[in-house]
Amino acid sequence: MAQGILDGDLIKQLADVAKDEALLQGILMRTKEDPNSSELVTYAPFTLFPSPFPKAAFLQGLAVQTHYNTLVDKISQDTDFLQEALASTIEVDEFTARLFKIHQQILKEGGSQSVVLGLNRSDYMLDQKEDKTSSLKQIEINTIAASFGGLSSRTPHVHRCVLKLAGRLEESRLILDNNPAAGLAGAIIKAWELYGSERAAVMFLVEEVMINIFDHRFIENELRKRNVPTIRKQFDDVAKTGSLDQDKRLFVDGTEVAVVYFRTGYMPQNYISEESWEARLMMERSLAAKCPDIHTHLVGTKKVQQVLARPGVLERFFPAQPEVVQQIRATFTGLYTLDMGPEGDRTEQMALAEPERFVLKPQREGGGNNLYGSDIIQVLNAVRGTPERTAYILMDKISPATVQNYLLRRDAVLKVSHCLSELGVFGVYVRQGREMLMNECVGHLLRTKSSEHSDGGVAAGVAVLDNPLLL
C-alpha cells in the first residue's frame, strides 16, 4: 500500500477525520495525566490506514483458535502436566510459585466451581523468510485479562471511512466486520446463566489505575443489554468486604458474585499486600466462575508454552487427532529450555553466541518484559550457573516484514513510520463439569508499532490499534 506517497495535505485531512471518527465511535482512553477520571479523554492510538496482511495466514489464525481453546482447557485439568512443566520455574520465580500454591490448595480442597469460563487471546506475527515467504508464528497465549476486545470492535468503521475519503472504495470493502466485545460478553453471559441466580453479578476485578476503562465498558454494555448485573471492584475491596457463605457463594460488599472477570492480577505489583493474595484465594475457593481460574492462569505461563513445543507433548492432549496437532504445531516457533542441565546449557551458549536471533522471556504478562540483543547477554551472564536461569525461556525471534503507515497518537508528529504488526485472535469457551458447552473464535485484534520498538503493547504506549487489510 503506497501510503507514503500520498499528498501531505490529504494525509493531514485524513488524520483529522480519522481522529474525529475514533472519538465518535468511542475508541477512547483516559489520559496519563488523569488516568482515573473521564473528565478528559483522548482517542486510543491507532494507525491512519489498515495494514496489509495475508488472507491465508489470517484465516489460519482464526481456524486454529478453537483448538487452542481446547488445549488451554485440557492443560488446566492436567495436574501432573502442570506440576511437571512448572517444577523448575516455581523454585526461582516467586510470583509463579505463589499462584501455584493457590492452585495446589484448590486441588486439595476439591474445588467448588462447576462452570469454567475461558476468554483468551492468541498472539501471532508473520515470520518472513529470505525467499519472501512468510508463516504465522505464535508469540504467546493470554489466558488472563486479554484486552482490546472492546475497542477493536469499533476500529473497522474508522478505517473504512479513511479509505473511502482517500478514494480507495474497493479496499474499504476488504475491512472485515469485527466484534470481539459481543463474543466475549456472550461467553460471560453463558457462565452467568449457568450459575443460576438473576441477582448475582458479574464482577470486573480491576486495577487502581484505569486508563483503558472504555475497553471494559464495551463488554459491560453488552452485559447490560441482557440485564446481567455488573460491579467493578479492586483486590482491596474484595479483601475488605468479601466473604464466602457456608455454600462457598462469594459476596463482595453485600452482592453475590456469579462470575469473577479478572482484568488485573497478572503481574506481581497487582498484589500489593498479603490481603491481596488472601482475596485471590477466597475468589478461587468460591462457587463463582472465574475467568480465568487459577489453573487456567498458570497455563498462560511462558514455561508451559515452551514445554508444549517439545516433541510428542501436544499428542498427550490430542491423542487421536493428528490433524489438530499439526494445525497447532504449525504456529509454533523455536522455543528452548533454560533449565539446569546439558540442554539448558546448550540454549544458554546458543543465545550468548547469537543474541540477535532470539528473545529472552521471563514468566510475566502485560508487555514490556521481554529482553533482546545485548540485554540477553547481560541477563544470562548475571544468572550463569545459578538456578535463577530457569525463570526464563528462550524463543526464536520472529522477523516480520515492515510496512509503512502513520501512527496516530495524541501529541505525536504526523510522519511515516516503518511498522510491524501483531495479530491477536480471541477465543472463548464455557465448560460445565466435563461437558464443553461453548467453544468459539470471536474476533481479532491487529496491533502495530514502529519497528524501532522491540516490545510493548497499546496499554504500554508502544503499539497502536489497527485492522488487517486482507490480501
The residue annotated as part of the active site, out of 149, 150, 366, 427, is 366
Query: Is 398 marked as binding a ligand?
Result: yes
Query: Is 467 marked as binding a ligand?
Result: no
Please identify which residue in the block is written with the cell numbers 465498558: 217
The residue annotated as part of the active site, out of 76, 118, 447, 467, is 447
The residue annotated as part of the active site, out of 152, 232, 365, 467, is 365
**Cα separation, 233 vs 254, whole angstroms:** 12
Query: Is 370 marked as binding a ligand?
Result: yes
Query: Is 367 marked as binding a ligand?
Result: yes
How does DSSP assign 41-59, residue by residue? EEEPPEESSPEEE-HHHHH
Contact 392, 369 (CB under 8 A): no
Contact 438, 187 (CB under 8 A): yes
Query: Is 179 marked as binding a ligand?
Result: no
Query: Is 415 marked as binding a ligand?
Result: no
Contact 154, 427 (CB under 8 A): no
The residue annotated as part of the active site, out of 21, 140, 207, 222, is 140
E-state strands within 158-287: 201-205, 230-233, 242-244, 250-252, 255-262
φ, ψ of residue 372 in degrees (nearest 5) = -135, 155
Query: Is 142 marked as binding a ligand?
Result: yes
The residue annotated as part of the active site, out of 120, 142, 179, 212, is 142
Task: Give which of 290, 228, 284 is closest to 261, Cα–Cα.
Answer: 290
E-state strands within 82-155: 115-128, 134-142
Query: Is 449 marked as binding a ligand?
Result: yes
Distances (CA, A) of 345 to 68, 73, 151, 280, 394: 31, 32, 44, 37, 12
Range 20-24 contact pairs with CB under 8 angstroms and sequence separation of 24 or more: 21/157, 21/158, 21/161, 21/162, 22/46, 22/154, 22/155, 22/158, 22/408
Burial of 314 (0-12, 13-18, 19+ CB in 10 A): buried
Query: Is 270 marked as binding a ligand?
Result: no
Active site residue 121: yes
Query: Is 365 marked as binding a ligand?
Result: yes
Query: Is 364 marked as binding a ligand?
Result: yes
The residue annotated as part of the active site, out of 51, 69, 134, 147, is 147
Please identify which residue in the block is written with the cell numbers 539448558: 344
Query: Is 45 marked as binding a ligand?
Result: no
Active site residue 140: yes
Active site residue 366: yes
The residue annotated as part of the active site, out of 19, 190, 290, 302, is 302
The residue annotated as part of the active site, out of 361, 421, 427, 467, is 361
Active site residue 142: yes
φ, ψ of residue 428 in degrees (nearest 5) = -130, 150
Query: Is 74 marked as binding a ligand?
Result: no
**Cα separation, 170 vs 418, whole angstroms:** 24
Query: Is 282 marked as binding a ligand?
Result: no
Query: Is 366 marked as binding a ligand?
Result: yes
Helix, strand, or coil (residue 376)? helix
Query: Is 121 marked as binding a ligand?
Result: yes
Please, which residues bridge with residue 203 across strands? 231, 260
Query: Is 29 marked as binding a ligand?
Result: no
The residue annotated as part of the active site, out of 30, 121, 217, 263, is 121
φ, ψ of residue 57 in degrees (nearest 5) = -70, -40
Query: Is 368 marked as binding a ligand?
Result: yes
Active site residue 278: no
Query: Is 411 marked as binding a ligand?
Result: no
Binding region for ATP: 140, 302, 361-370, 372, 395-398, 422, 449, 455
Binding region for Mg(2+): 140, 142, 365
Binding region for substrate: 121, 447
Would you name the residues annotated as active-site residues? 121, 140, 142, 147, 302, 361, 365-366, 447
Binding region: 121, 140, 142, 302, 361-370, 372, 395-398, 422, 447, 449, 455
